[in-house]
Structure 1
Amino acid sequence: MPDSSGSTGGTPETHVIDFRAAERLLAARDPQGAVKLLDSVIAAHPENTAARLLRARAFFAAAQLRPAELEFSIVLEREPDNAYAHFALGRTYERQGRPDQARRHFRLAAALDPNPEYLQRAKFDT
């Protein structure tokens, strides 16, 4: 019988459950709990970009900026037109005190999606 615990291996169904639970944990401000669940999902499905994006968000929320940077970068390697990932990577660089890299990604996000928050951070008028 396959392991359905979600913590080691698991089934595709348990990985979906773990992903959804991780979303809820992140929304409830428990980013470390979200990362723990997503680790098993990504171990089983390293190509799962949605899980990587959620884990990047959780790392960012936990102020684990280097892991967040790495995960957002992986997402952007796979989806270079992901405006949110550019914006979030820009915020990560901003928190790391790297304004030039942050500005580059804020501008890419704004170019891909004219979201008012992206446009404000891109500072095209300066």
Structure 2
Amino acid sequence: MEDMRALSYGLGQQYFEERDYRGAVRALLPVVEETPDDVGTRLLLARAYFHAALLKPAEQHLQEILDREPTESYAHLMMARTLERLSRRDEATKHRRIAAALTGDDSLLVPHGA
């Protein structure tokens, strides 16, 4: 079973790198369901959802990550970007501030294109 998870994860990574984000979601979702505490896999799945413009599932998975790992700075940044795309800028600002505080990178405070 471990071999199948590794194969599915590798396939998900490949799809993501090829910008086939929906393919990445299909490959990664069973892995996340099997290993829900694996933050790295869940983060890749959330990124695939984000890039596929499936923002609600991206938000849900990012929230799962932040519930488990509140100091995961990249998850905060991705949450900010997701909320911005959902026109929820006030909520996004909070996550940008947390990401900037965790990394010491004040450039994270400014949304892309702003």
Residue among 57, 61, 73 paired with 2:51:
61
Partner of 1:18: 8
Partner of 2:39: 49
Larger radius of gyration: 1
1:9-57: CA deviation from partner (whole Å, max 9, x where unpaired):
xx11221121122112111111110011111112222222211111100
Question: How has the CA–CA distance of structure 1 residues 96 and 24 changed in structure 2, closer, same or farther, with 3 Å as cutoff?
Answer: same
Compute the TM-score of the two structures, normalised by the length of structure 2.
0.90
Query: How far apart, CA to CA, are the structure 2 residues paired with 1:111 and 1:76?
Result: 15
Partner of 1:99: 89
Task: Tell me which moved more, 47-56 or 73-82.
Answer: 47-56
Percent of pairs with identical residues: 38
Query: How far apart, CA to CA, are the structure 1 residues paired with 2:15 and 2:107?
Result: 25
SS in 1 for 2:29: helix
- How far apart are residue 115 of structure 1 and its match? 3.5
1:54-94: CA deviation from partner (whole Å, max 9, x where unpaired):
11000000000000000000000111000000000000000
Query: How far apart, CA to CA, are the structure 1 residues paired with 2:84 and 2:42?
Result: 20
Contact conserved, 2:12 with 2:23, CA < 8 A, in 1? yes
Moved segments of 4+, more than 4 Å? none
Partner of 1:83: 73
- How far apart are residue 109 of structure 1 and its match? 0.2
Structure 2 stretches lacking a partner, 5+ long: none
Query: How far apart, CA to CA, are the structure 2 residues paired with 1:116 and 1:23?
Result: 30
Residue among 90, 96, 120 paired with 2:110:
120
Compute the TM-score of the two structures, normalised by the length of structure 1.
0.82
One-letter code of the match for 2:12? A
Aligned residues: 111
Structure 1 stretches lacking a partner, 5+ long: 1-10, 122-126
> Normalized per residue, which structure has more helix?
2
